[in-house]
Structure 1
Amino acid sequence: MQRGSDRLSRHRDDEMKHELQGLLRSGHPTRSEEWNDPEPTADDDPQVWGGPVVPGDEGASLEGVRLELARILGRTSFPAGPVELVRVLRRQNAPDALTEAVAGLPRKEHYANVQELARALTGTEGTP
């Protein structure tokens, strides 16, 4: 008999294993209620599952770079120049490739928001 600080009883543990048995065997959700299943990704969703989005990579679109920067930097980092943004990226443990890309921007530039920074990193032009 196991003695420990388990939150669940042995009977509840066996019950949970039985509930997951269908999922483990089939490899897909086996619930009868479709609303309870996770929603699949859409075709136009940005690609974030393949690792960090890095400007200059093949699959790095403006939207993907903007999403990654917004996730890491937030709103409080702006307006700022590359030096301040690199400092925040390092503090937030951002991927090295993204930090190096921001560090390679001209030091005299200032960016008002994530959109301007993403445009500068991807080299795309557009209306502000």
Structure 2
Amino acid sequence: MGDKSAKHGPHIDDQLRHETEGLQRAARPTRVEEWKEPEPVEDDRDRDPTSANLADREGTPPGMSPDDVERRSNIARYLAGFHEPMRPAALADRAARNGAPDDVVRDLRNLPDQEYTRVAEVSDALGLGNETRRV
């Protein structure tokens, strides 16, 4: 009775034992569908988590630095909700009303004088680039 659970009855214990028998014997994942497998854990033993070298970290699109990603994120945050075409002065005013710092407002005012309809267009005009879809 030592291997029996006090939480379940003997029937449920036998069923759970049967369900996990293949996993215990194989000592590896036994699922046929790969998409059901758990994701592997990234091993970062050789990396210093306190290092300031952010360029090597995952998450930044090719051709963009982490600073570019941060600037693009700030611009998108302060321009939130704009859908109609806007010129640089209107973009800067909108960002200022949303509490943007002076450097973001200045960057928006210095954009080439044309109408912008998406944050991606603003980002391109500032030379920040855009993330391409990852497959």
Q: Which structure is larger by alpha-carbon Rg, 1 or 2?
A: 2
Q: Which has the higher contact order (CA 8 A, sep 6+)?
A: 1
